Every structure is written in structure tokens, then in C-alpha cells.
């Protein structure tokens, strides 16, 4: 686990299953149809129960780069934020902007729902094929911008499924040169 203090907030990188993490808001890697699927989406709907999919159906759709909120069913969370990453098509189709926007919308909705803590997966880097080494800095920049803005939630945890994903996030974090001394990562 890696933990970094940012202003009066905290940014954490952990390896694990996002459905097992306690946080006010849990982010799902959803699709535009909000129809459920594999990966994080499958795990969240399995662990959270059918009420989440019922709510998704009543919402309808969510465009790529955006997010919507439902209750969390049986998950140890208050809300689920269903964020839709872009499908990777080589990188020249606005993927970076859409991925950044999916994260920014997730943080905005978490604040709107008065969440003190948020757990996020690495959006887009599974079925949607976004290369991990390019997705990790986008995810972290969005999280740092959020924490530096002073907005809620002040407690941000990326829950990374594989050791490869954890390492990609750790490397991206270490490559940022704008992290001042008080924000230095501790091992």
C-alpha cells in the first residue's frame, strides 16, 4: 500500500477487490447502457445485489466520459458511482479527455452526495483496453486535482486488482515532479 497526504486529504493505492473496500462512494467501471457486465461491473452487481441494476435501468444511459449515481445495495458503501471510460481506439479519438472526465465527474458526484471517502478502480484498463501506463497518470492527475481543490471527499483510494496495475500507478505517482515535500509518497 502506498499513501500520500495531499493538502488535508489522503490518496491511497492498494491492491485488492473494490467490492471488499469500505468507502462512502464506490466507483464502478460501467458501460454506456448501464447494463452490467464483467470485471468491476460484474463484481459490483454480484456483491451489491439486484437493486443496483434496477436503479441503473431506471436511469437508462450514461455517455462515455460521464457518470451516474445509484444506491449501493448490499455493498459496504452509501452510493455507487457508475463511470463510463472510453473504449480504447489507439489514443487519437479523445480517449485521454474522456477518461479524465469520467474521473472528474466521479469526484464531483461524490461531493454532491456528501461522501467523505471514495474508492475507485482503474477505469478503462480492462475490457475497454486502455493501456495501464497511459491510464494511470490520468487517474492520478484527476485525484490530485480533486484533493488540491479542497472539495469532499478528502479520502481517496484506488483499488487495483493486479500487481501490474498497482505498479503502474506507483510508477506514475513517482514520476510526478510537482509533488512537494509534504506530499511525498511514503513506502
List C-alpha distances in Å: 41 to 31, 45, 179: 8, 6, 32
Omega cis (within 30) before 153: yes
**Residue in 124, 138, 143, 172 binding ligand AR6, rule: CB under 6 A:** 124
Site for ligand AR6 in 25-44 (CB under 6 A): 29-31, 37-41, 43
List C-alpha distances in Å: 78 to 3, 52, 113, 173: 23, 12, 9, 28
Based on the shown chain and the rule CB under 6 A, indicate whether residue 122 belongs to the binding site for ligand AR6. Answer: yes
Based on the shown chain and the rule CB under 6 A, indicate whether residue 105 belongs to the binding site for ligand AR6. Answer: no
Closest by CA to 11, choosing from 177, 176, 178, 173, is: 173
Residue closer to ligand AR6, measured from CB, 4 or 103:
103
Q: How many CA atoms lie within 13 A of 118 on its CB side?
A: 32
Given 8, 41, 155, 178, the catalytic residue = 41
Based on the shown chain and the rule CB under 6 A, indicate whether residue 161 belongs to the binding site for ligand AR6. Answer: yes
**Cα first-last separation, the chain:** 7
CB-CB contact of 141 with 107 (8 Å) = no
For the CB of residue 171, give the shortest distance to ligand AR6 in the complex, in Å: 15
Based on the shown chain and the rule CB under 6 A, indicate whether residue 128 belongs to the binding site for ligand AR6. Answer: yes
The strand pairing partners of 28, in sequence order, are: 82
CB-CB contact of 115 with 25 (8 Å) = yes
Residue closer to ligand AR6, measured from CB, 139 or 148:
139
Residue closer to ligand AR6, measured from CB, 50 or 150:
50
For the CB of residue 57, give the shortest distance to ligand AR6 in the complex, in Å: 14
Task: Mark 70-89 with x for binding to ligand AR6 (rule: CB under 6 A) and - for no binding.
Answer: ---------------x----
Q: How far is CA 57 from the centre of its chain?
A: 22
Based on the shown chain and the rule CB under 6 A, indicate whether residue 137 belongs to the binding site for ligand AR6. Answer: no
CB under 6 A: which stretch of 65-73, 110-118, 123-131, 150-158 binds ligand AR6?
Answer: 123-131
User: Does the annotation mark 41 as catalytic?
Assistant: yes
Query: Residues with catalytic annotation?
Result: 41
Amino acid at each position: 500500500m502506498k499513501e500520500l497526504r495531499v493538502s488535508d486529504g489522503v490518496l491511497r493505492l492498494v491492491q485488492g477487490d473494490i467490492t471488499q473496500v469500505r468507502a462512502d462512494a464506490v466507483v464502478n467501471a460501467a458501460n454506456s447502457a448501464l447494463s452490467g457486465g464483467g470485471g468491476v461491473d460484474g463484481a459490483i452487481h454480484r456483491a451489491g445485489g439486484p437493486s443496483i441494476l434496477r436503479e441503473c435501468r431506471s436511469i437508462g444511459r450514461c455517455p462515455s466520459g460521464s457518470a451516474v449515481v445509484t444506491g449501493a445495495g448490499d455493498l459496504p458503501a452509501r452510493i455507487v458511482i457508475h463511470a463510463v471510460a472510453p473504449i480504447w481506439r489507439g489514443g487519437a479519438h479523445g480517449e485521454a479527455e474522456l477518461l479524465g472526465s469520467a474521473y472528474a465527474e466521479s469526484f464531483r458526484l461524490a461531493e454532491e452526495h456528501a461522501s467523505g471517502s471514495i474508492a475507485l478502480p482503474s477505469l478503462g484498463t480492462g475490457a475497454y483496453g486502455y493501456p495501464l501506463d497511459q491510464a494511470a497518470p490520468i487517474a492520478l492527475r484527476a485525484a490530485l486535482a480533486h484533493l488540491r481543490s479542497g472539495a469532499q471527499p478528502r479520502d481517496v483510494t484506488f483499488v487495483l486488482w493486479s500487481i501490474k496495475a498497482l505498479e503502474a500507478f506507483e510508477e506514475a505517482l513517482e514520476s510526478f515532479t510537482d509533488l512537494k515535500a509534504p506530499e511525498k509518497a511514503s513506502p
